[in-house]
Amino acid sequence: MNFRREALEGLKAPEELDAPIRLVRTRAWALLIALALLLGATAAWSAGGTLPRKVEVPGILTHPLGVSRVQSPQTGLVSNLFVDSATLVPKGTPVLSVVDAQGATQIVRAPFAGRVIGLLVSSGQYISVGTTFMTVERTDANDDRLLATLFVSPRSAGMLRPGTQVDVSVQSAPSQAFGLLRGRITAIDQFPYTAQQVADFLGGDQQAAARLLSAGGAVRVTVDLETDPRTLSGYRWTNKSGPPFRIDSQTPVTGFARLPGERPLDWLLPG
């Protein structure tokens, strides 16, 4: 009887040895199925899913008509300056006087309303007709307001649309402390600006123009700032309160515009 019992136990042993093999095979199949499902989900997301994108571009706070150069209509010696930098001047305001060759004093008046950005002459200086003696940020547009002007690359500009939300970092109000200005695109110029056109918009400031064009942008994009009467600045910010002071025009900014999402599959396909 003992012999028969040992023989029967020996016959069962091969089946017990097969048990770990069956377990390993089951786990392998489960792993393969999970991997296949993961690859399928990844492929579906690559084809139909999108990744959010933003474009970062330099700009400046300004008014719709930008900065204009004011040229002298008279030749002579500057005898008086009646304005200073940052002075708000209505159209027709006396800005300087010139003594001509006959000794007569001629009053030169502001040809348009605006804020004096820079005075390029001083009392006692001789100037000729056509000499630029002052730059003025114009405020005489019918829809005058403070806005952000960005210069975007033609490629990125082609993906933007009026109404696109833009967050604006203001140099005088660090975003780490005060957040970002909220705005929306209201206009996208059809043709790129030349470097000289950008400088002209800034009143001839070549250095500021070079900064705005440093990222390869040349298409002018107008961003209207969202207002909020509850903030001291008068504008809406990402952190609700914003800075405890007003923001000025001619302040450098950086705009962060949202672009249409990109499919991951497009990275693998030739353009």
pLDDT tens digits along 6-16: 555 555 555 55
Confidence band of 31 (pLDDT split at 50, 70, 90): confident
**Would the pLDDT of 267 be above 50?**
no
Q: For residue 54, what pLDDT is reported?
A: 80
Confidence band of 84 (pLDDT split at 50, 70, 90): very high
Q: For residue 33, what pLDDT is reported?
A: 74
Question: Are 120 and 71 contacting, i.e. CB atoms less than 8 angstroms apart?
Answer: no
Q: For residue 55, what pLDDT is reported?
A: 85
d(CA 93, CA 265): 62
**Would the pLDDT of 90 be above 60?**
yes
Q: Kindly state the greatest CA–CA separation across the chain.
A: 145
Q: For residue 66, what pLDDT is reported?
A: 95
Instruction: Name the amino acid, one letter, at 239.
Output: N
Which residue reads 């993961």 in tokens?
38
Q: What is the mean pLDDT of residues 97-113?
A: 96
Question: Are 61 and 160 contacting, i.e. CB atoms less than 8 angstroms apart?
Answer: no
**Would the pLDDT of 266 be above 60?**
no
For the chain, the average pLDDT equals 85
Reported as half-sphere exposure (CB side, CA atoms, 13 A), residue 188 has a value of 17
Q: What is the mean pLDDT of residues 228-235?
A: 94
pLDDT digits over 49-73, tens only? 444 568 899 999 999 999 999 999 9
Which residue reads 């970092």 in tokens?
169
CA 90, 95, 97, 100 torsion-angle sign = negative
Give the C-alpha distances (Å, rounded to integers) separating 41 from 46, 91, 233, 247: 9, 66, 48, 48
155 backbone dihedrals φ, ψ, rounded to 5°: -65, -50
Confidence band of 259 (pLDDT split at 50, 70, 90): confident
Nearest to 153, CA basis, from 219, 250, 65 = 219
Q: What is the mean pLDDT of residues 132-158?
A: 94
Q: For residue 9, what pLDDT is reported?
A: 55
**Would the pLDDT of 157 be above 80?**
yes
Put simply, whether the predicted model's pTM sits higher than 0.85 gets the answer no
Question: Are 116 and 69 contacting, i.e. CB atoms less than 8 angstroms apart?
Answer: no
Q: For residue 145, what pLDDT is reported?
A: 96
Percent of the chain with pLDDT over 70: 79
